[in-house]
Amino acid sequence: MSPSAATHCPYCALQCAMTLTSPKALTPAETPGSEPVVAAPAIQVPAADTLTPAAPLLDVSGRDFPTNRGGLCRKGWTSASLLNHPGRVIEPLLKGPDGVHRPISWDDALAFVTSAVKQTRALHGADAVGVFGGGGLTNEKAYQLGKFARLALGTSRIDYNGRFCMSSAAAAGMRAFGLDRGLPFPLADLDAASTILMLGSNVAETMPPFVQHLQGARDAGGLIVVDPRRSATAAFTSDGGGLHLQPLPGTDLALLLGLSHVVIHEGLADAGYIAARTTGYDSLARSVASYWPERVQSLTGVPAGLIRDTARRLADGATKGGSYILTGRGVEQHVDGTDTATAAINLSLLLGLPGSARSGYGTLTGQGNGQGGREHGQKADQLPGYRKITDPAARAHMAKVWDVPESLIPGPGVPAVELLKSLGQPDGVRCLFVHGANVAVSAPDANAVIAGLRSLDFLVVCDFFLSETAVEADLILPVTQWAEEEGTLTNLEGRVLRRRRALAPPPGVRSELWIMARLAEALDAPSTFSADPETVFEELRLASAGGLADYSGIDYAMLDRGDAAYWPYPAGSEGTPRLFLDSFAHADGRAVFTAVAPRRRASPSSPAAEPARRNRGGKPMTLITGRLLEHYQSGAQTRRVAALAEAQPEARLQLHPAAAAAQGIADGDLVSISNARGEVACRAALSTDIRPETVFLPFHFPELESANRLTEAATDPISGMPEFKFSTVWIRPAAAV
């Protein structure tokens, strides 16, 4: 075990580099590997804020790296406090008939799981066993989880929470470029840009060290942010002379069509690039012809002058230091998210940005391994190497790597929302494994998801805390945290990074690789499963060879040397920091314009928006959701960090003063937010930073403050992405409820 470890933050996809050091030599009693951190005969679910934190076992310091340049945000600085958190699960816990979780041995825990799987398969078939994975799992875990589901469990029903995160942008990237890598260029390329258009992303809160890469464009007056709120990132534009476009929620696609219209009709398009490197221009041009700025203003609420100004700045920037278009979840988490990301790519292609050495289009991956998590086979429709599970050549390749008959590899499963809707249903999933996800808080229509979890015959959750999903589990298997394990992750640039172990886990804790290996053995899986991360990575290299996401030229030794490793990295190559410089990944080498159009979306005040709403008065508003500086994803980790919980202890509803006044709501009042799916309550935070018909609620909080009890499980027909960023809700003072 190293006294200090050079590793990366456990949270977001920026994967800031950090060094972990022991503040002092640990005595045996203090070493987490020698003593249980908590020993209790029976575990009642503790409230996150009722536990007294111990002093962190490790010091965290920022380390110089191209993405963070030594910087960390407050989430990263405080991450070590979770290693010896008193609420950590350190033994397998089995729920008794009284609903209380009690410790059991690992042998008994694995026997319970094995028995549950065998019984479910015998009674209902292999597809009655389901697996829900996570975008924070290491590459090794994500790879092994896909193999475990298909070969050890024999099920096609595997998907993961990245479906809620990157699926729309991924589908759009595949459609346009034939390849999906979040940023097809190093993040540092942004530094020299003249113009950056950022749509639906608030990096100043979600990944603050990112902001240094926007500084150059911002100082040049070229930073343009599209967000219905004046977010911290939108506010960053103001001093530099940049722009903030504040569209109505759900109208980003129309806005992008308007920008493309201006580019074409003002002669700003790069005709040479379009002729040489793309297909489908004529159809695209026809599709945007009717989106002139004044019409788009009426659809989006963005002034026509700003639309023209934005298009001109993008075109001008492309002839100077470069222009970049970046999208985030705000524009992607919609039922037309794939088409919206496609419209952003179309705009970038018109301007000749993708595949240029100093311009481009990219999407900002959110979860820590949101990029790698979608490449190695934990998606319902995918095999390792970013291969399609329906492709005969891909199936034959994987059958060879796994040394199994091809017939043993199941076909495609169902996307995450569909999988969750099937929980406990007659033809659905009856026994569910959850790894690295907290669906009770993070999935849309969370009340229905919780009911689904409760209807399962058996739920096993691998976690290190009693998350809201783990609380529902029949069995909780305690797993290692980031500082206790080796592995790799792939950051938002497509760069593969080493995660390194700084201390041993508590003795009752195991890695997910170990759990999968033991269960695979107990279930007589037809292939071998290793508990050693490097061995699994070596297999992943073979599995990925020849695929879109080819890791075959990457190994631990080169990552340990600090070599930059951007995939595709076939053996014998030097990797690919910048994609598409010579050609795109479609067979003809060209990028594809796809004509897209907005689908009709019911306005918040339309009865069609909420046919079964709770008609108890109040005003219909559009709810958008998002993140806060202090919290990450479902908050299962960050709500347990004392300093972060102190800074942001609760959800607050951001509400425009005019809308609040109409309801008799004052700042700090308790308000009810409801629709057909549920009702939550929290305090109002009045602000002119949000549009008057729109409200914002962070999604990090559970139970009565859970934003996803209000979001809808309607999905994008191409990507399966839920409609997180457009829900009709009714707001009223809580006293009136």
Q: Does 707 participate in binding ligand SF4 (rule CB under 6 A)?
A: no
Distance CA 729, CA 229 (A): 17
19 or 583, CB closer to ligand SF4? 19
Distance CA 283, CA 136 (A): 39
60 or 169, CB closer to ligand SF4? 60
Minimum CB–partner distance for residue 625 and ligand SF4 (Å): 19
Distance CA 641, CA 633 (A): 14
Q: Does 348 participate in binding ligand SF4 (rule CB under 6 A)?
A: no
Cis peptide bond upstream of 733, omega within 30: no
Minimum CB–partner distance for residue 16 and ligand SF4 (Å): 3
Minimum CB–partner distance for residue 469 and ligand SF4 (Å): 21
Minimum CB–partner distance for residue 632 and ligand SF4 (Å): 6
Site size with ligand SF4, rule: CB under 6 A? 14
Residue 272 exposure: Cα atoms within 13 Å on the Cβ side: 0
Minimum CB–partner distance for residue 686 and ligand SF4 (Å): 28
572: alpha, beta or left, given left = phi > 0 and alpha = psi -120 to 50?
A: left
Q: Which amino acid is residue 121, in one-letter code? A: R
CB under 6 A: which stretch of 9-17, 440-448, 514-522, 653-661 binds ligand SF4?
9-17
Q: Does 14 participate in binding ligand SF4 (rule CB under 6 A)?
A: yes
Distance CA 275, CA 278 (A): 6
Contact characters 16-55, ligand SF4, x per CB under 6 A: x---------------------------------------
CA 48 vs CA 44, 52, 278, 620, 650: distances in Å: 12, 9, 53, 33, 12
Minimum CB–partner distance for residue 502 and ligand SF4 (Å): 16
- Which one of 5, 7, 11, 274 is in contact with ligand SF4 (CB under 6 A)? 11
Distance CA 379, CA 412 (A): 9
CB under 6 A: which stretch of 6-14, 126-134, 299-307, 436-444 binds ligand SF4?
6-14
72 or 149, CB closer to ligand SF4? 72
Q: Does 72 participate in binding ligand SF4 (rule CB under 6 A)?
A: yes
- Distance from the Cα of residue 494 to its chain's centroid: 15
- Which one of 5, 12, 259, 686 is in contact with ligand SF4 (CB under 6 A)? 12
| DSSP type of residue 410 | -
- Which one of 5, 32, 48, 68 is in contact with ligand SF4 (CB under 6 A)? 68
76 or 547, CB closer to ligand SF4? 76
Nearest residue to ligand SF4, by Cβ distance, number only = 76
18 or 536, CB closer to ligand SF4? 18
| DSSP type of residue 150 | I
Q: Residues of 183-196 as b/e, b for ≥16 C-beta within 10 angstroms?
A: bbbbbebbbebbbb
14 or 318, CB closer to ligand SF4? 14
364 or 682, CB closer to ligand SF4? 364
148 or 236, CB closer to ligand SF4? 236
7 or 674, CB closer to ligand SF4? 7
Contact characters 198-227, ligand SF4, x per CB under 6 A: ---------xxx------------------
CB under 6 A: which stretch of 69-77, 228-236, 321-329, 435-443 binds ligand SF4?
69-77
14 or 609, CB closer to ligand SF4? 14
Q: Which residues sit opposite 229 in a β-bridge?
A: 690
206-207-209-210 Cα dihedral, nearest 10 degrees: -100
Could you give the 3-state DSSP secondary structure of residue 540? Answer: helix
User: Under rule CB under 6 A, which residues in 535-554 are in contact with ligand SF4?
Assistant: none
CA 103 vs CA 95, 230, 471, 475, 518: distances in Å: 9, 48, 14, 10, 19
Q: Got the DSSP string for 113-143?
A: HHHHHHHHHHHH-GGGEEEEE-TTS-HHHHH
Distance CA 322, CA 549 (A): 27
Q: Does 109 participate in binding ligand SF4 (rule CB under 6 A)?
A: no
User: Under rule CB under 6 A, which residues in 683-702 are in contact with ligand SF4?
Assistant: none
Minimum CB–partner distance for residue 73 and ligand SF4 (Å): 3
Distance CA 488, CA 499 (A): 5
Distance CA 642, CA 310 (A): 42
Q: What are the structure tokens assigned to 229, written together? A: 């709120």
Residue 316 CB coordination number (10 Å): 14
Q: Which amino acid is residue 186, in one-letter code? A: P
CB under 6 A: which stretch of 70-78, 142-150, 656-664, 670-678 binds ligand SF4?
70-78
367 or 727, CB closer to ligand SF4? 367
Q: Does 183 participate in binding ligand SF4 (rule CB under 6 A)?
A: no
Distance CA 153, CA 52 (A): 40
User: How do 129-133 and 722-723 pair as beta strands?
Assistant: unpaired
Contact characters 75-104, ligand SF4, x per CB under 6 A: xx----------------------------
Distance CA 127, CA 433 (A): 13
Q: Rg of the chain's alpha carbons, rounded to an integer? A: 25
CB under 6 A: which stretch of 10-18, 426-434, 472-480, 569-577 binds ligand SF4?
10-18
14 or 171, CB closer to ligand SF4? 14
74 or 388, CB closer to ligand SF4? 74
68 or 195, CB closer to ligand SF4? 68
Distance CA 594, CA 583 (A): 18
Residue 423 exposure: Cα atoms within 13 Å on the Cβ side: 27
CB under 6 A: which stretch of 11-19, 583-591, 606-614, 651-659 binds ligand SF4?
11-19
Reported as type and span, the H/E element at residue 388 is strand 387-388
210 or 580, CB closer to ligand SF4? 210
Q: Does 142 participate in binding ligand SF4 (rule CB under 6 A)?
A: no
Residue 275 CB coordination number (10 Å): 9
Could you give the 3-state DSSP secondary structure of residue 599? Answer: coil
Residues in contact with ligand SF4 by CB under 6 A are 9, 11-12, 14-16, 68, 72-73, 75-76, 207-209
